[in-house]
Amino acid sequence: KVLLEVRDLHATVGGAEILKGVNLTVRSGEIHAIMGLNGSGKSTFAKVLAGHPSYEVTQGTVLFDGQDLSVLAPEERAQAGLFLAFQYPVEIPGVANDQFLRLAYNTVQGHRGKEELDPLEFDDFVREKMKLLKMNPDFLDRSVNEGFSGGEKKRNEILQMALLEPRLALLDETDSGLDIDALRIVANGVNQLSSKDNAMILVTHYQRLLDYIVPDYVHVMEAGRIIRTSGKELALALETHGYDWIHANDQATG
Ligand code: ADP
Ligand code: MG
Ligand code: MG
């Protein structure tokens, strides 16, 4: 079943065209990796999917489960089952993490027909999920992301994903800033939460996240387009030969 269908997507930010014709099809049960050099447009693509107000779609279409995404506000996208974790999660001083997570849960899952949970019910529920993900419950009492380490922010993202049970999750990783521990958290979360009914897109600059997650497809983005799609072996080839190899390879194969 096709979950996401991106066709000839062009988008601008601050008047500059960054996405220049992205095509991508994602089906239930699949894990996709989008790789590419810094500045190639990966995060822009993630923000456009999320409906970030600074980004304007100027051409092309995005269908999520057959529905035109452009008519949905960001929160409606989340309610439809789209989850986007960002490179730089927001800090919300003064708001306890458990309050924040409960609001997110009730807004998204409540909309999808689940019963809203009061603080006590939510506490039981979230602690169960945290046990599964081997997270320390102390985390619930702290302010949202305030002073969290990179690894803790990642943990919190994965916890949000576990609570919201998205149909399509897009994780944009600055794995440059992540230690191996944080990479493992992301990888374990993705592996545990991935099922035949959902799909995951991992945006990653480096190959090492893919030591822990086996994607069905690897895409390379360059200058606002996906210029190559292959299986997981593409990530290994990139690790060995670097991104320039793609162009050398294009010439060699004519
Ligand atoms: P990646 O995530 O692949 O590193 P980005 O999507 O962050 O790439 O950036 C792609 C390009 O878009 C870069 O050239 C970047 O400078 C440019 N860009 C990103 N945000 C803005 C902005 N707000 N205004 C103008 N250009 C931007
Ligand atoms: Mg970048
Ligand atoms: Mg980026």
The pLDDT of residue 60 is: 98
| Domain-wise residue ranges, the chain | 2-90+167-253
Does residue 87 surpass a pLDDT of 60?
Answer: no
Share of the chain above pLDDT 70, in %: 94
Is the domain 2-90+167-253 a CATH 3.40.50.300 member? yes
Q: Which of 13, 87, 205, 226 to mutate to test the pocket of ligand 1 (most atoms within 8 A of CB)?
A: 13
Output the CA angle 27-109-133, nearest 5 degrees. Answer: 75
Q: Say what the pTM is.
A: 0.91
Q: Does residue 48 contact residue 252 with C-beta atoms inside 8 Å?
A: no
Does residue 176 surpass a pLDDT of 60?
Answer: no
Ligand 1 site, CB within 6 A: 13-14, 16, 18, 36, 38-44
Does residue 94 surpass a pLDDT of 90?
Answer: no
Average pLDDT value for the chain: 88
Q: How far is the CA of 172 from the centre of ligand 2 (A)?
A: 10
Share of the chain above pLDDT 90, in %: 52
